[in-house]
Amino acid sequence: MPEAVETQTMLCTSPVLRHFGNVSMRYGIQNKSIHSIKGTRIINGNLAHLGPKVFSYIEESVALCQPDQVHICDGSATESATLLKLMQANGTIKLLPKYENCWLANTNPSDVARVESRTFICTERQHDVVPRTLRGKSSLGNWISPKDYNNAIADRFPGCMTGRTMYVIPYSMGPIGSPLSKIGIELTDSAYVVYSMGIMTRVGSKVLELLMRENMEFVKCLHSVGTPSNGIHEMPSWPCDPARTIILHKPENNEIVSYGSGYGGNSLLGKKCFALRIGSTIAQKEGWLAEHMLILGITDRSGHKRYIAAAFPSACGKTNLAMMMPSLPGYKIECVGDDIAWMKFDETGQLRAINPENGFFGVAPGTSNETNPNAMATIFKNTIFTNVAATSDGGVYWEGMGKPPKDVQVTDWLGQPWDKVESNKPAAHPNSRFCSPASQCPTIDPAWESSAGVPISAILLGGRRPEGVPLVYQANDWTHGVFLGASMRSEATAAAEHSGKMIMHDPFAMRPFFGYNFGHYLSHWLSMGRKTTPEKLPKIFHVNWFRKNKQGKFLWPGFGDNCRVLDWVLRRCDNEPCYIESPIGLLPKKNSLNLEGLKETVDLDELFNIPKEFWLKETEAIDKYFTEQVGEDLPEEIHFELKHLRERLQLL
């Protein structure tokens, strides 16, 4: 197209255009085509459709990363097919012929999880990220100075995309155009990231149109899988640079920069990096909440539907709860989201939530027809599996999936033959994943893409607590609820670098995801409680499906029976007096939990017992945590909640 070439030449060489930065002039040529940027060829898409801010961002990043070519993603089926072919040719993915359009990726074994120790937030003042404590340094908030931030980029990014394609992914977190949604542009050199972002977010030309039309702000996300300093990729099918991996966030500029890892939690920048870390900082400024919460819709026997949001640390069964098949007859549970909620009070004072994601990036091990039949019905089409085991009949396998079919050989995630009896290591990596479109879930909620969001009646907080913590209790009020969130603890998970059986503090299940000072986050939550009337505030509950008896057996069956707990929660939302007071909060009154048709007998006394010794120790642990980790930034209200809890426990 001669005209296009002309336009491009003019843009790249005209000193006038360069001098003015050329917003309006570039706008003026928006219906023409631009086929190169900084001398780099655009192999898909048209830069003239991007708007000036996106244009400059790409221009700067091309100059820094020096890719061989640029591909602007349109989110089309043709584009997906091209990416799949490319990844197959590079050995990054293999077809799983047993299913429909399913693929298996195996990562470099050194690139299998989020790298929390290399994840940083950059601000001028450290205190905006890290709470100030008297003793030692708080480990809440990993701060990096602007100087070190710049140096980290300068050490890694110049020329990092040479020989590669830079993909430009325009994406929306949340339904495109919803007032609750936000837009991101991810620049990456990984086709795996592009394909996965196409599942996890809403990608494509519609987003660009919106950006251009409304001249909207967007979150800048730069990602490269990197190259080790010796230039050698151990595993060419999964390039990465684990020794220099770094994930940086700069809230002031709405900017994310990630280097060295292709693993989803570090590379699909819309998810934890944007929707939670940067999201929480935007939410604080704008007066809403960006939380690590699932959202589900529950319809009771009378047809009354409500929505609940729930925060659990990784590996507590969030996806299972979000997709639960209720065991109580007449109840229906529908899924809005399984990981992240963005919530805002509307003009009537009702808290409303959207799921900013478009897919599920779920942990595969433990997912089965028994634990989560709806996930099983979701994930065997249009899915990319990562680090699960493969079967000789073209399928996948993982621990807790049930038995592999007879006469089928299993190859573990490292590519070695695997045998259930003889191999003494897992077939699938404990943090192996499926990445599937949310729309495929048989119980996806009809309102899951509602642009106004769904009204939230209750907020659940929880953890994996083998001891001392009852099945459910209600916070006395919003402030007490915020205290419960601040005091959340859980057995450690496989999603992070370290795993083990320690009871870790994980306030609001956000410990790895705070974008700013946790003490200020608590103040923000407290201020949210003043945004509406007490009657309109969602009620807050703490749940624990994982309490065990002395013999180490779970006291509660969990899964579909958790709906019995949700039923009690809803009745409390209706102000039914089905509770008794206790030192830790409101417990179900005797016989108020609906146990109709429960298949096993449950020792309710043990399940709801509040051992004084245990709770006194718990308050000590919370106190120590608050002192050592939050220090002077702990809001006074939270301090008082702890004091009052201790006083109430003395009465036991």
CB of 493 to ligand OXD, least distance (A): 7
Q: Cβ of residue 318: shortest distance to ligand OXD, in angstroms?
A: 7
From the CB of 589, what's the least distance to ligand OXD, in Å? 34
Residue nearest ligand OXD by beta-carbon distance: 495
Give whole-number Cα distances, 565 to 321, 459, 535, 592, in Å. 12, 13, 21, 10
Chain position carrying tokens 């459709």: 49
What does the angle CA 493 – CA 504 – CA 561 come to, to the nearest 5 degrees?
60
Interaction of residue 201 with ligand OXD, rule CB under 6 A: no
User: Please, which residue, 74 or 339, has the CB nearer to Mn ion?
Assistant: 339
Contact mark string toward ligand OXD, 209..248, x via CB under 6 A: ----------------------------------------
Nearest distance in Å: CB 265, ligand OXD: 5
**Selection from 377, 373, 336, 333 nearest residue 355 by Cα:** 336
Question: Which residue in the shown chain puts its C-beta closest to Mn ion?
Answer: 339
Size of the site for ligand OXD (CB under 6 A): 4
Chain contacts with Mn ion (rule: CB under 5 A) = 339
* Measured distance CA(305)–CA(574) in Å, rounded: 12
Smallest CA-to-CA distance from 104 within 328, 331, 410 is with: 410
Q: Which does 265 bind (CB under 5 to 8 A by kind): Mn ion, ligand OXD, none?
A: ligand OXD
Give the separation between CA 337 and CA 361, rounded to whole angstroms: 11
Question: Torsions phi, psi of 387, nearest 5?
Answer: 65, 25
CB closer to Mn ion out of 339 and 491: 339
CB of 250 to ligand OXD, least distance (A): 22
Q: How far apart are CA 277 and CA 516, in angstroms?
A: 8
* Residue number with CB closer to Mn ion (339 or 445): 339
Query: Which residues, at least 6 apart from 591, have a Cβ–Cβ distance to it below 8 Å?
Result: none
Of residues 340 and 645, the one with the C-beta less far from ligand OXD? 340
Choose among Mn ion, ligand OXD, none what residue 373 binds, the Cβ cut-off being 5 to 8 Å by kind: none
Cβ proximity to ligand OXD: between 242 and 359 the closer is 359
Residue 203 binds which of Mn ion, ligand OXD, none (CB < 5-8 A, kind-dependent) = none
Closer to Mn ion at the Cβ: 339 or 618?
339
Q: Dihedrals φ, ψ of 616, to 5°?
A: -65, -40
Q: Which is nearer to ligand OXD, 336 or 584 (CB)?
A: 336
Torsion, Cα of 386, 44, 16, 218 (10° steps): -40
Q: Kindly state whether residue 265 participates in binding ligand OXD, applying the rule CB under 6 A.
A: yes
- Taking a C-beta distance cutoff of 8 angstroms, is the pair 25, 66 a contact? no
Catalytic residue among 316, 335, 435, 441: 316
Q: How far is the CB of 434 from ligand OXD (least distance, A)?
A: 12
DSSP state letter for 178? -
Whether the Cβ atoms of residue 318 and residue 339 lie closer than 8 Å to each other? yes
In the bound state with ligand OXD, the residue whose beta carbon lies nearer, of 128 and 291, is 291
* Nearest distance from C-beta of residue 338 to ligand OXD, angstroms: 8
Query: In the beta sheet, which residues pair with residue 542?
Result: 461, 473
For the CA atoms of 86, 272, 257, 211, the dihedral, rounded to the nearest 10 degrees, stands at 80
Nearer to ligand OXD, 292 or 572 (CB): 292
Is 87 within 8 Å of 195 (Cβ atoms)? Answer: yes
Residue-wise DSSP of 287-307 = T-EEESEEEEEEE-TTS-EEE
Q: Say how far apart CA 176 and CA 210 lie, in whole Å.
A: 8
Helix, strand, coil share of the chain (percent; to 5): 35, 25, 45
Query: Rounded to the nearest whole angstrom, what is the least distance from the CB of residue 185 to Mn ion in the complex?
Result: 23
Using CB under 6 A as the binding rule, the residues of this chain from 24 to 53 that contact ligand OXD are none
Q: How far apart are the first and last CA of the chain?
A: 82
Min dist. Cβ of residue 314 to ligand OXD (A):
4
Whole-number Cα distances in Å, 527 to 131, 479, 534, 635, 637: 18, 10, 13, 11, 11
Cβ-based nearer residue to ligand OXD, 227 or 358: 358
Tell me if 33 sits within 8 A of 42, measured CB to CB.
Answer: no
Place of tokens 């020794």: 243
Check binding of 339 to ligand OXD (CB under 6 A). yes
Return the number of the residue (139 or 416) whose C-beta is nearest ligand OXD: 139
The residues in 445-504 that bind ligand OXD, with binding defined as CB under 6 A, are: 495
CB of 364 to ligand OXD, least distance (A): 12
Residues 494-553 that bind ligand OXD (CB under 6 A): 495
CA–CA separation, 382 vs 196, rounded Å? 11
Q: Which of 66, 123, 138, 314 binds ligand OXD (CB under 6 A)?
A: 314
| Residue 304 phi, psi (nearest 5) | -80, 125
State the Cα–Cα distance between residues 573 and 500, nearest whole angstrom: 36
The DSSP secondary structure of 23-60, one letter per residue, reads: HHHHHHTTTS---EETTEEEEES-GGGS-HHHHHHHHH
Residue 286 CA, distance from chain mean position: 20
Cα 72 from Cα 78, distance rounded (Å): 13
Answer left, alpha or beta for residue 75, where phi above 0 means left and psi between -120 and 50 means alpha: left
Measured between alpha carbons, how far is 652 from 637 in angstroms, rounded to an integer? 23
Could you confirm whether 316 is annotated as catalytic? yes
CB of 314 to Mn ion, least distance (A): 5
Tokens of 365: 């091990």
Report, as residue numbers or ranges, the catalytic residues. 316
Q: Which residues bind ligand OXD (CB under 6 A)?
A: 265, 314, 339, 495
